[in-house]
Structure 1
Amino acid sequence: MPTPTTDGRRAAVLGSPIAHSLSPVLHRTAYEELGLTGWTYDRFEVDEAGLPGFLDGLGPEWAGLSLTMPLKRAVIPLLDEISPTAASVEAVNTVVLTGDGRRVGDNTDIPGMVAALRERGIEQVGSAAILGAGATASSALAALARICTGEVVAYVRGENRAAQMRQWGERLGVEVRTADWTDAAEALRAPLVVATTPAGTTDALAAEVPEMPATLFDVVYDPWPTALAARWSAHGGAVVGGLDLLVHQAVLQVEQMTGRSPAPLDAMRKAGEHALAAR
C-alpha cells in the first residue's frame, strides 16, 4: 500500500508487471519543468485482485493514477465516472482523483495516438491496416475513427479475434475488414500501418517491407527500434514509435492530474529517450 504524505500531491502508475514502466521518468520530468516541487510520482505492482484495496487506501493527497495492463478494464466498476472516450473502448488508463473524493476515468491513449500522428504530419488517411487484435488494437481503431476516411483492415490470428475487431469497428463507426495473420505482409502497403502487437511479433515481417513504404506506427518502445521499424526507416518510410505514443498520452495525463497546461512535451520525450538509452 502507498505510504501517506502530507507534503504536496501524489500520483503513480499501477500495473503488473510494472518495473519496466517509463511513466515515472516522464511525469517526474514534467513536475520539475512545471515547478511542482511538492509532487511525487511512483510505481506500484498492483494486479486486478489488489486494485480495490489500493484505491480504497488512497488519501486526499492523491491527484491521479496511470494504469497499464491488466487494470484498464478492471478499474471501470470502481470509478464514479468515465469519459466518453474511455467508454468507447471500455478501457481506462487515467484516473483523476478530485477534491471531493470522486474517481474519474479517462483514456489518453486514443488522443495520444492522434497527437503522435499529427506531430508527424498525418492528419488524415484514406485507409489503414492494423496488426493485432488486443486492447491496444481497439484504441488504435478509436484513433483511426478520427482520421481514417475509408477502410481499416485488421490482420489477426483466429476467427474469434477477427469477430471482436469487426464488432469494435461497428461500435466505433469504422469500416473494418479482417484478414488472417498469414497474409500480414499485405498490410505493409497500406498508407498507414499500426502495429499493436508485443515486441518480437512482427520481426518476421521486416523482410517484406516494400521499397517505398508510407507510414508505420509501431507501439513498441523497448526494445527500439523493432526489426520492422528499422527496415521501414531504411526503406525511407515514416515511423512513429511507442515512445511517441507514451509521451503524448503522458502529456495529457499530466495536464489532467495537475491542472497545468501545456505539459512539457519536448523535455518529457528527451527524458524518455535518455532512460531507454541507459537500459
Structure 2
Amino acid sequence: MTPYAEVIGDPIAQSKSPVIHNFWIEQLGIEARYDHCHVTREGLADYLAQRRDDPAWRGCNVTMPHKLAVMPLLDRLEPIAKTIGAVNTILREDDGTLTGTNTDAPGFLEPLRPLLAKTHLFRMARVLGTGGAARAIVAALAAEHFTIVLAGRSPEKARSMLDEIAPDGEHHAIAFDHFADATDFAFDDRQGCFDLIVNASPLGMTGQPPLPFDFSHAPPASVVYDIVTSPLETAFLREAHAKGFATVDGLSMLIGQADVAFARFFGAKAPREHDEALRARIAS
C-alpha cells in the first residue's frame, strides 16, 4: 500500500498542490504520492466515507467550495480550525478517525516571520476580502498583535467576522471600495511600525476584474501581499513593486501551508532548500 494524500475541490484541475507535494516526495525519495480528486458538494459525504476506510489514505487538502461544508462531516476539529471556522486539511488517524485542521494561517505567516521576529511599536494590516482565506488571515494577524482594517463588500459581514475571530482587538470594518479612491491622509512617522496590505480576495486573478486599490492608502515601507496565484505577479503586486514597496506573492502562502500539511501527511520535513527549483517546476 503506497501512502497517499490528495487535494479535493470543485473545480480542482487548476490546483498546484500536486506539483508541490510530489516535488517534495521526489526530492526525499520516499514511497508516497499526492493526487487531486474532483469532489462535488453532493459527493462530499460519500467521498469521506470511502476514504475513511482506506488505510493508505493519509488525508487531503480541501479547497473551495468545501472548507466549511466538510466541518460537520468530521470526527474532530483542531483548535485552529475551530478558531478560523474553516478546514483546509483533513487527517486520517490509524483508527479511521477524521480530524480537521487549517494550515492556511501558518502558511500565510511564513514569509513574514523575519519581520515578525522584530519588535514593533505598532502593527496594522489592511485586509481586502471576507472569504474563507480572509478568515485564516485575520486569525493569523490577530494572534500576531496586528490592528486589522478589514474591507468587504458588506461592512456588516466584515464586522461580524472580526467579532467572531478576533473579538479582543480594536479592529475596524469598512467598505471594500474605501481603498479605491485616492486619499490625502498624512501618515504619521512610521518608524518602528509594521504596515501590511493584503489582497485576500480573488480580484486580480485570471478571469477576474483587477483589484481596486489606490496606493495613496499605503503607508511608507508597507509590505504588500497578494494571495492570488494565477497570475503569480498580479497587477496589484506589479504596481506595488514599481512604487518601491516590498511584495509577497501568493505562491509563498501556498508553499508555506503545504509544508505544514506535508509533515502531517507523510511524517517528513519538506526539503525547503529546493524552493527555487520548486517555483521553477510550478512555473513550467
Of 169, 176, 183, the match for 1:174:
169
Cα offset, 1:85, TM superposition:
0.4
Counterpart residue number, 1:135: 132
Residues 1:48 and 2:41 aligned together: yes
For structure 1, the residue ranges without an aligned partner over 5 or more in a row are 1-5
Say whether the 8 Å CA contact 1:96–1:104 is kept in structure 2. Answer: yes
Give, as a single letter, the amino acid of the residue that structure 1 aligns with 2:277.
K
Of 4, 7, 10, the match for 2:4:
10
Counterpart residue number, 2:153: 157
Cα offset, 1:208, TM superposition:
4.9
Residues 1:255 and 2:263 aligned together: yes
Q: TM-score, length-normalised on structure 1?
A: 0.87
Residues 1:264 and 2:271 aligned together: yes
For structure 2, the residue ranges without an aligned partner over 5 or more in a row are 188-193
Of 215, 234, 242, the match for 2:242:
234
Give, as a single letter, the amino acid of the residue that structure 2 aligns with 1:263.
A
Counterpart residue number, 1:107: 102
Per-residue CA deviations over 1:49-80 (Å, capped at 9, x if unaligned) read 11111111121111110110111111111111
Say whether the 8 Å CA contact 1:14–1:66 is kept in structure 2. Answer: yes
Cα offset, 1:267, TM superposition:
2.5
Q: TM-score, length-normalised on structure 2?
A: 0.85
Identity of aligned residues (%): 32
Cα offset, 1:17, TM superposition:
1.0
Q: Secondary structure at the match of 1:205?
A: coil
Q: Secondary structure at the match of 2:65?
A: coil
Counterpart residue number, 2:143: 146
CA distance 1:128–1:210, shift in 2 (3 Å): closer
CA distance 1:160–1:68, shift in 2 (3 Å): same
Say whether the 8 Å CA contact 1:212–1:236 is kept in structure 2. Answer: no
Give, as a single letter, the amino acid of the residue that structure 1 aligns with 2:25.
Y
Q: Distance in 1 between matches of 2:36 and 2:177?
A: 38
Per-residue CA deviations over 1:225-253 (Å, capped at 9, x if unaligned) read 11111111112211111100000000000
Say whether the 8 Å CA contact 2:19–2:281 is kept in structure 1. Answer: no
Residues 1:21 and 2:29 aligned together: no
Cα offset, 1:211, TM superposition:
8.7
CA distance 1:263–1:157, shift in 2 (3 Å): same
Q: Distance in 2 between matches of 1:66 and 1:266?
A: 23
Say whether the 8 Å CA contact 1:131–1:194 is kept in structure 2. Answer: yes
